Structure 1
């Protein structure tokens, strides 16, 4: 029992990661509001041990008005402004977190997309209900050799059991864990699901989903039990290997 009750700091195992899910670009979504906040987030990432990140602002049909043009221009402007602080190399690239809403299928059809790398795409569901045509959309993505990552699957309350998660995996989704979920930041339901998915080895990648400096400060303070660390370490290593 002592083995399972022993805790260690998660941050001690994050050295060398590239974060593939965050909202670090300023004034483009519900994340960083300005350059100074972005700069503070970079500094906190570096304190934790991250070697870089790929920016992933939201793309949603009814919010923010983001597309390839707005995201790319914001990224370029941000990098230019960060040169003054000698922090222009930390944000490697700009991609997006794509909501599977009614406009997403058209983006897939026309390939108006910003990939994380190769043809890997970060996606998310609504928190309120599962997308109606998710199976068809995923099929279309796979037909185009697009590999979809589902962000924070533990946060969708309407997904009730492990078999539903396995079905999504079988259909072609990769799963990305929000690190804050394992500490209960999003509530007990998300925490329990995160631990369950870790126990069943269903996660492929980790991300911070950091919207503000406070999220990174909280990650810095997370302590986890040895059994959870055993389950999350391969996911962290897989993230390092693939990004």
Structure 2
């Protein structure tokens, strides 16, 4: 009977993996507060086996009013400050995680945004309610030849499974947070993450790490064999997309 309950370390899947959503750049949002913490996070990424990290600091009206210049400047200063760090080469060109708020459409109209490889644009919803113009803005991104990625849909309690699938059917890619599989964000996110993963609805997976403790928790994360297999398939595809 014990065989059926055996679990496997997620970290075993992360050799040569790419992280496309995290908050590792220092003092630019609610992620790493300083360069020393960023260095510590890079060490943990290396221990986990990651080969590349695309930093994605928040862009959020009234909270983190970042733009292309502020993020680019922070990235350049970080690379310079870490020039002697063993794992500085893990950091690739940054993008951003955009809140779909009142300023989002203006950013699209002005072209004032940063994308991940192959014109992927990472965005998030408020945790309180779905944006009224969500579908319209997803369509607008597609009209701009962008490939929209909704960050951690499993974490929005107001979205049911079918709501999330409907967004995917509109051409929106879905990104899973690894820590959702640990129960880190609560039972609702845990159950939805398993359901969507096992039914092949996620397109991408990321750490969304804001601090070293998040990466330490991923080191210890264990899942059932079926989930392990689903994650492996997802990570294999992701490595090709974000080389």
| Stretches of 4+ aligned residues off by more than 6 angstroms | none
Deviation per CA, 1:158-180, whole angstroms, max 9, x where unpaired?
002x2211110011110110000
Alpha-carbon RMSD across the aligned residues, in angstroms, is 1.1
Deviation per CA, 1:172-217, whole angstroms, max 9, x where unpaired?
1101100000010111110000001012100011100000000000
| Residue equivalent to 1:110 | 110
Structure-2 separation of matches of 1:75 and 1:146: 23
Structure-2 separation of matches of 1:208 and 1:64: 20
Deviation at 1:3, TM superposition (A): 5.1
Q: Tell me the TM-score normalised to structure 1 length.
A: 0.97
Q: What does 1:83-232 align with in structure 2 at a 5 Å threshold?
A: 83-160=83-160, 162-232=161-231
| Residue equivalent to 1:236 | 235
Q: What does 1:37-76 align with in structure 2 at a 5 Å threshold?
A: 37-76=37-76
Report the secondary structure of 1:33's partner residue: coil
- Unaligned 5+ segments in structure 2 are none
Report the secondary structure of 2:123's partner residue: strand
Report the secondary structure of 1:98's partner residue: strand
Deviation at 1:75, TM superposition (A): 0.3
Contact 2:42 2:88 in 1 (8 A): no
Deviation per CA, 1:112-136, whole angstroms, max 9, x where unpaired?
1111112111110001100110111
Deviation at 1:4, TM superposition (A): 4.0
Deviation at 1:64, TM superposition (A): 1.8
Deviation per CA, 1:198-241, whole angstroms, max 9, x where unpaired?
12100011100000000000000001111211222211111111
Report the secondary structure of 2:45's partner residue: helix
Q: Tell me the TM-score normalised to structure 2 length.
A: 0.97
